[in-house]
Amino acid sequence: MHESDTTPVTVIGLGRMGAALAAAFLARGHATTVWNRSAGKADALVRDGAIVAPTPAAAIAASPVVVVCVADYDAVRDLLEPEAGLLAGRVLVNLTSGTPDQAREAAAWTDRRGIDYLDGAIMAVPPGIGRPETLIFYGGSQAVFEAYEPTLRALGGAATHLGADPGVALLHDLALLGMLWTSTAGYLHALALVGTAGVTPAQFLPFAAAWFEHVLAPDLAATAAEVAGGDYATDVSSLAVNARAMDHLIHAGRAAGVGAGVLEPIQALLDRHVADGHGDESLAGLIERFKPPAAVVG
C-alpha cells in the first residue's frame, strides 16, 4: 500500500453524494470515470478532469475499482445485473444507503459472480467528503479493504473496516442515525418549550451545548459499561425519578401548547419498566425493552 496511490476509479451515480465522491478522487489524483443517467450532472467534474462513460458497461470497464452510490439497492441491482460479467475480477464498493440485510444480499450476489465486494456507509454529508476526519464504515473482505485502503481514504481519512459481515457498516450507520434523530428531536422540543417563555435559540444554545458536553457525552461510557455488565444498580438517578421528571416535562409542555409526540413513547417505556419492578435501576436498564427475545435452547 502507498499513500500516493492513484488507482483508476469509476463512480456510478452523480447525485450530491456521488458527485462529491468523484470530486474527492479527482482531488487526490485518481483517473476518474463517471456515469450517471443524466449526463449533464457530470459537467463540473469533467472540467476537473473526469471522463464521462457513455454506458454503465463502459464505466465499469474503465477501472479496477467501481464505486456505486445511487438511490437504493434496487437501483444498484438494475444497473449492475446486466454487467455482472464485466464486474468479475474487479472491486465493487457500494456506498448506497440501505439496510444490513440488503447489503448481505448484495454481497451474496457478488460472491456468486466472482466480484470482490465492500459495502460501506458514509457518516458525513457531501461537503465532508475527502476530509481527513470523515468517517466511512466498510464491511466485507478484510483483504480487499487493506489492498484498496489508500484509494478509499481519498473519500474519508477515517475509513474504518468493521469486519467480514457486509451488513455491519449499515448497521452502525443506522444505529448512529437513530441517535442523531432522537437527539435532534429532543433538542427541537427543548427549543419549542423554552421558546414559549420568549427564550431564543441563540440564548438557549450555550446551555444546551454545555449540557451535552458535561452531562450527556460523559455518560456514554458509563452507560456502555452498565449495558456490557448487565448491572443497572444506581445510587445517582433511578428510573422512578426520571419517570416523574418526564411526567413533569410533558405536563409543562402541554400547558404551554407544545406537542409531546417525541416524548410520549419514552414516557411509556419508563412507566412500563418501573411498573415491572425496575424503578430503582438506572436509565441504562431500559435497554432490556429494546433487546430481541432470548433464543430458546433445546
- The full set of domains in the chain, from first to last, is 9-166 (3.40.50.720), 196-289 (1.10.1040.10)
Is residue 4 scored above 90 in pLDDT?
no
Any idea which residue has 462529491 for its cell?
20
Give the Cα separation of 94 and 87 in Å (integer). Answer: 13
pLDDT at residue 5 in the model:
85
Any idea which residue has 418549550 for its cell?
193
Question: For residue range 70-116, what is the model confidence (pLDDT) as tens digits?
Answer: 999 999 999 999 999 999 999 999 999 999 999 999 999 999 999 99
Q: Average pLDDT of 255-260?
A: 96
Sequence letter at residue 93: V
Helix 201-211 to helix 168-195 angle (10° resolution) is 130
Give the Cα separation of 96 and 21 in Å (integer). Answer: 12
pLDDT at residue 293 in the model:
86
pLDDT at residue 186 in the model:
97
**For the purposes of burial, counting CB atoms within 10 Å of the CB of 99, is it exposed (0-12), middle (13-18) or buried (19 or more)?**
middle
Mean pLDDT of the chain: 96
Model-level pTM greater than 0.85?
yes
Quote the cell numbers at residue 190.
427543548
- The H or E element that residue 12 is part of is strand 9-12
Is residue 297 scored above 60 in pLDDT?
no
- Per the CB < 8 A criterion, the answer to whether 68 and 33 are in contact is no
Quote the cell numbers at residue 89.
475480477
pLDDT at residue 294 in the model:
74
pLDDT at residue 6 in the model:
92
Question: For residue range 33-74, what is the model confidence (pLDDT) as tens digits?
Answer: 999 999 899 999 999 999 999 999 999 999 999 999 999 999
Choice among 53-57, 209-213, 220-224, 292-296 with the minimum mean pLDDT? 292-296
Q: Average pLDDT of 197-214?
A: 98
Is residue 3 scored above 70 in pLDDT?
no
Distance of CA 210 to the CA centre of its chain: 25
